[in-house]
Structure 1
Amino acid sequence: MNINIKNYKNILDNISDGVYFVDKNRKILYWNNAAEKITGFTYNDVINSFCYHNILRHVDKSGNELCRNGCPLLESMKTGTFIHADVYMHHKSSYLLPISIKVFPLKNDKNEIIGAIEIFNKQKKINNTTPSPLALKEFLMYDPLTNLPNAKYLYKVINSKLNEIKSIKRNVGILIIDIANFTSIINKHGSDIANQLLKIVAFTLKSNIKTGDIIAHWKNDKFVLIFNLENKEELNKIAIRLKMLSEKTSILIENKNISLSISIGGTYFLTNDNIEKLIDRLNNALIKSKNDKYNKIRILE
């Protein structure tokens, strides 16, 4: 293959975007410093492996695993076109990051396609404002397992939001995310593996909410998230996306992927709510979602 990587290395190793090259067989020939920082995978982890070995496990917005079907690198080499997409990428620690990718075909002096290059970085629109662990620890509002705010902090936020919507007309939604098979994972694989999955889900959720949104570890196998919404229909779309991302989370144990089953309940903040009414409606939505054989998402007014 006639790609002289040395000519590009000094430049590409000092930019903030992740960059990697593949040849026509999709073998990874180059992996820059930013790619290591963004993904957790080192140069030695990936070099001379093939992208279809599903290292990064790109996932689209519908939950399709692109390395198996719909690889942007392969498509770019087949068609000779530039491809831009917003997708999700698995970090080495197994959580999912929202990224933007740009893929170009690489050509030789004869204008023949000899490979492809992918440039990627984290989506800048995802940037939540969860307080720092140090600030939360000071007021006993921190969960050390998931590195998230705890239920005590969440109650504080809920009370603040309830007061806020009485004076400012705003759509505010709340979701409770339950790992339905958490107990069976503990029974089969032990609490260490179950807690590892819990931490991965926590980081995936935290990495995929926007500025102003709140996430907390509610208790045991449950997370609660609060969203400022543009409209009420948005809450169901968020629930579908977070369910997909959580269920794409897995860890490899004895050559088998241990994955999760997710149920989600949701509701909206109402002007006549108090915290007891809101939490009761939220829990009721979760019960209904658990009894839902197919969708496993239930949003109650």
Structure 2
Amino acid sequence: MISTPQFYIQVLDNMYEGVYFVDNNRRITYWNKSAEAISGYSSDDVLGQHCWNNILKHIDQCGHAHCRDSCPLACTLADGQTREVELYLHHKHGHRVPISLRVSPLRDEHGNICGAIEIFIDNSAKVAILERVEELEKMAMVDTLTKLPNRRYLETKLPHILSEYHENGFAVGVLFIDVDHFKNINDMYGHDVGDEVLKMVANTLAINSRASDIFCRWGGEEFVGIVHNVTEAQLEEIANRFRILVGTSSLDMGREEIKVTLSIGATISRGNDNSNSLLKRADQLMYHSKQTGRDRVTIKPQQNSFTKAKRPPKLKLQTMLG
């Protein structure tokens, strides 16, 4: 059997999982092709770098950074234990990617730890997303910039979803999402950079959602998410997870990183809701988030503050079908 180093490298490069090695100083010594595909970073970008340089910027679902004080690689190098954990890495294009990773120690011929190996897989429903995009493109229902379903698609789809909800009693959650201070991004960096920010946000929403859920670009810097079969508490948790993931994503501009936050309105469908009433309520809740400080989720504000937090008349939602 062939057992040259080149043979093993060829095997590793053809693995579905991302694989990389570090030495005892957490310096990256090997980076396979799948690691490049999942993260966007080539071997030229990372070889010789230390993982604690925050290349992948691993965070958990609460937004806690793991690269500095709770790095699985560092812990395994210290105690020799294998670890498995689910985190979110920072893609080279700025968005967050959910991953499952396993870290194991590497030992020399004397049994001493000489490094570690991390194997990770992409947890996002990429195949379902790509199939959905291809199908919708044929019907002109995809936003050309972000590749998310567009407003036309949601206006067509939501009445059917609500009809199914009324028949079966499944709860439907709606997230109305606005990118905070987006006009400042366009004014400071130009519309090309603004477009990249919108794609970063869209990718984070799409990649980290369930295959059954729908996120669309409503228009401008606004997005709408339809989340199936959730309670109000679950919807609030999901909304905050997206808020954290986008808030910890960044667009690399060379000497600086561009970050944005989200204001989100979240609501659960009610028995008498139609498409317009459901979206209007979510929109008003989103605007409440903006008026009360931005970078937050509003799902049930105080009534007196809710009546004040209405979108200016010139920005009201258009009447929808359904």
| TM-score, length of structure 2 as denominator length | 0.86
Closer, same or farther in 2 for the Cα pair 1:127/1:254, shift >3 Å? closer
The equivalent residue for 1:287 is 287
Task: Give the Cα separation in 1 of the matches to 2:131 and 2:292.
Answer: 35
Closer, same or farther in 2 for the Cα pair 1:58/1:46, shift >3 Å? same
Closer, same or farther in 2 for the Cα pair 1:73/1:187, shift >3 Å? same
Within 5 Å, which residues of 2 pair with 1:16-27? 16-27=16-27
Task: Give the Cα separation in 2 of the matches to 1:146 and 1:24.
Answer: 41
1:224 positional shift: 0.5
Within 5 Å, which residues of 2 pair with 1:108-123? 108-123=108-123
Task: Give the Cα separation in 1 of the matches to 2:78 and 2:114.
Answer: 11
RMSD after superposition? 2.1
Closer, same or farther in 2 for the Cα pair 1:30/1:248, shift >3 Å? same
The equivalent residue for 1:258 is 258
Indicate the larger mover: 128-137 or 81-90: 128-137
Task: Give the Cα separation in 1 of the matches to 2:30 and 2:222.
Answer: 40
Letter in 1 for 2:96: L
Task: Give the Cα separation in 1 of the matches to 2:180 and 2:60.
Answer: 24
Extract unaligned runs of 5+ from structure 2: 302-322
Task: Give the Cα separation in 1 of the matches to 2:230 and 2:178.
Answer: 25
| 1:35 equivalent in alignment to 2:44 | no
Task: Give the Cα separation in 2 of the matches to 1:21 and 1:167.
Answer: 53
1:28 positional shift: 0.8
The equivalent residue for 1:159 is 159
Task: Give the Cα separation in 2 of the matches to 1:161 and 1:269.
Answer: 11
Q: Which structure has more helix as a fraction of its residues?
A: 2
1:134 positional shift: 4.5
Task: Give the Cα separation in 2 of the matches to 1:280 and 1:95.
Answer: 28
> Secondary structure of the equivalent of 1:142?
coil
Could you list the per-position Cα deviations for residues 154-178 of structure 1 after superposition, in whole angstroms to 9, with x for gaps in the alignment? 1112111111111111011010111
What is the aligned-residue identity percentage? 35
Closer, same or farther in 2 for the Cα pair 1:187/1:299, shift >3 Å? same
Letter in 2 for 1:231: T
Task: Give the Cα separation in 2 of the matches to 1:267 and 1:141.
Answer: 25
| 1:11 equivalent in alignment to 2:41 | no
Verify the 8 A CA contact 1:126 1:210 in the aligned structure 2.
no
> Secondary structure of the equivalent of 1:143?
coil
Within 5 Å, which residues of 2 pair with 1:109-188? 109-123=109-123, 128-129=128-129, 132-188=132-188
Verify the 8 A CA contact 1:229 1:235 in the aligned structure 2.
no
The equivalent residue for 2:198 is 198
Task: Give the Cα separation in 2 of the matches to 1:17 and 1:137.
Answer: 30
Kindly tell me the number of residue pairs found equivalent between the two proteins.
298
Task: Give the Cα separation in 2 of the matches to 1:228 and 1:79.
Answer: 43
The equivalent residue for 2:310 is none
Letter in 1 for 2:61: K
Could you list the per-position Cα deviations for residues 135-185 of structure 1 after superposition, in whole angstroms to 9, with x for gaps in the alignment? 334433221011111111111121111111111110110101111110111
Verify the 8 A CA contact 1:128 1:209 in the aligned structure 2.
no
> Secondary structure of the equivalent of 2:231?
coil
Task: Give the Cα separation in 2 of the matches to 1:128 and 1:271.
Answer: 30
Task: Give the Cα separation in 2 of the matches to 1:142 and 1:125.
Answer: 18
Task: Give the Cα separation in 1 of the matches to 2:264 and 2:258.
Answer: 20
1:276 positional shift: 1.9
Letter in 1 for 2:281: R
Letter in 2 for 1:150: N
Indicate the larger mover: 245-254 or 179-188: 245-254
Q: Which structure has more strand as a fraction of its residues?
A: 1
Extract unaligned runs of 5+ from structure 1: none
1:53 positional shift: 1.8
Indicate the larger mover: 207-216 or 290-299: 290-299
Closer, same or farther in 2 for the Cα pair 1:156/1:300, shift >3 Å? farther
> Secondary structure of the equivalent of 1:74?
helix
